[in-house]
Structure 1
């Protein structure tokens, strides 16, 4: 993850929270007093977004110091001391909520990704993928958190992979026509994935030698048959309302990938607490 992926988000979030007058409550109560704050995890989970957490405090006041005691990807325990922040009280309190919002959201994504990955491994070898169902503007940081949690990224946007979904196929008239038109336009520049709703669609897509087939809302029996039909000749991705309770049995069908929109679109924030006290 590059700074350019998150610095605009930090700027936007701080402007949203502080506007022109800043933290009017803290400005009324503090002058140049300094403060120390300690960040603690409140649950078991995976840390993600530590650099962003630190960068928020620096954006508010470059003299604020953040000591990170754990790195992204670390398994956190309840009550674990994760970071210490030292600086002017007004600066620390002005940055606190925005910094925690980033850290809680991204650690929640990473924690969910780890749970899905571990559950998939119980059933088979399927790799967990994310989707494009992310908060606007948060695509790259959310996908970074997915990787921190041990899952992998699907396409980043509409620009880096061809995914022929039902609307495209219906418009073209058939899977074959849609694939032919894509290849006529782009040649081999982009890999092609085809969404298949039936096993007949799977047979058609396999014959076209596309890179991947997406099994859309298929039953477990249909997934198993698709695995047999393709026999390793093409990657298979299962998708459609696959939650944590189902991912093990879906992985056991032998598919190569399982895409999970819930990794990013309905993530539960990871709970942290930031305890503060005056030092001067």
Structure 2
């Protein structure tokens, strides 16, 4: 699912206002105005690109008659030196929109690139999916989750209203066991997916007995993780097992080989390095 045009327009407007794009005193001081110029955006390193439609909207917002040619599509692999977009617009629009455009492109492409690394690592285990989390920058969740999809990953719940996910602190606050919490959540929200985080094998069994749809294994030891995956698949085939907590690239294949249905990775969004691009005017 792509980002809606309205989502893009709204966020672009916010960021251009934040950057003072219509009050660029440097361009004004140098009397740089509406004369036409060309620019292109170039990849300075290899990765997976994401955010091209957002970049296009940046320059259309500043110059309604801009002529923009997108040379790649979101989700494409790009290599150092690749041209990804050509833009013809007023000089003022090009200079005022450059940083906002590159900020979006670099950040989202970094997430897509990081995601693709995780996805490719377990390509031989098609039953296991790489999922994101809610560890996103405030105000950018829809965009960052879109970047995960462009990288080949899958989206976990978008927000707290999407599904029930019972965690340790919920259990403490409600003073309930895992099984009791699942049963209560099911009674209150019969149509919702019910997921519960478990911290040991006995809690895992409670979650299954309570009727959870997804059971998250948080920081399980490898032997317990393997045991739990096999038990669930043999005895509760409709239940999905999700692995979370400290998931690293080095340990990813072991998790997939154990039979995990879902592997949630917060670092795809909360610590992905930006992918470097440059903006050059002709």
- The answer to whether TM tops 0.5 is yes
- Of 147, 162, 174, 2:177 maps to 174
* 2-structure distance, mates of 1:224, 1:124: 17
* 2-structure distance, mates of 1:116, 1:139: 20
Q: Does 1:186 align with 2:189?
A: yes
Q: Does 1:92 align with 2:97?
A: no
* 1-structure distance, mates of 2:218, 2:18: 39
Equivalences for residues 133-172 of structure 1 within 5 A: 133-170=135-172, 171-172=174-175
Q: State the partner residue of 2:34.
A: 32
Asked if 2 retains the 8 angstrom alpha-carbon contact of 1:203 and 1:229, the reply is no
* 2-structure distance, mates of 1:32, 1:164: 56
Q: State the partner residue of 1:46.
A: 48
Q: State the partner residue of 2:134.
A: 132
Asked if 2 retains the 8 angstrom alpha-carbon contact of 1:163 and 1:195, the reply is yes
* 2-structure distance, mates of 1:266, 1:168: 26
Deviates more, 1:211-220 or 1:244-253: 244-253
Q: State the partner residue of 1:257.
A: 262
Asked if 1 retains the 8 angstrom alpha-carbon contact of 2:179 and 2:209, the reply is no
What is the total number of aligned residue pairs between the two structures?
A: 275
Per the TM alignment, residue 65 of structure 1 is displaced from its structure 2 partner at its CA by 2.0
* 2-structure distance, mates of 1:85, 1:71: 15
Asked if 1 retains the 8 angstrom alpha-carbon contact of 2:182 and 2:211, the reply is no
Q: Does 1:23 align with 2:28?
A: no
Per the TM alignment, residue 107 of structure 1 is displaced from its structure 2 partner at its CA by 0.8
Aligned to 1:241, the other structure's residue is in SS state coil
Give the gaps of 5 or more residues in structure 1: none
* 1-structure distance, mates of 2:123, 2:228: 20
* 1-structure distance, mates of 2:188, 2:158: 21
Asked if 2 retains the 8 angstrom alpha-carbon contact of 1:70 and 1:83, the reply is yes
Summarize deviations over 1:65-122 as a string: whole Å, max 9, x none.
2210111111101101111011111111101100110111111111111100011225
Per the TM alignment, residue 28 of structure 1 is displaced from its structure 2 partner at its CA by 2.1
* 2-structure distance, mates of 1:249, 1:22: 54
Aligned to 2:157, the other structure's residue is in SS state coil
Per the TM alignment, residue 123 of structure 1 is displaced from its structure 2 partner at its CA by 6.0
Give the gaps of 5 or more residues in structure 2: none
Deviates more, 1:250-259 or 1:155-164: 250-259
* 2-structure distance, mates of 1:10, 1:242: 33
Q: Does 1:267 align with 2:272?
A: yes
Q: State the partner residue of 2:241.
A: 236
Per the TM alignment, residue 231 of structure 1 is displaced from its structure 2 partner at its CA by 2.1
TM-score of the superposed pair, with normalisation by structure 2 = 0.93
Greater than 6 Å deviation, 4+ residue runs: none
Per the TM alignment, residue 184 of structure 1 is displaced from its structure 2 partner at its CA by 2.0
TM-score of the superposed pair, with normalisation by structure 1 = 0.94
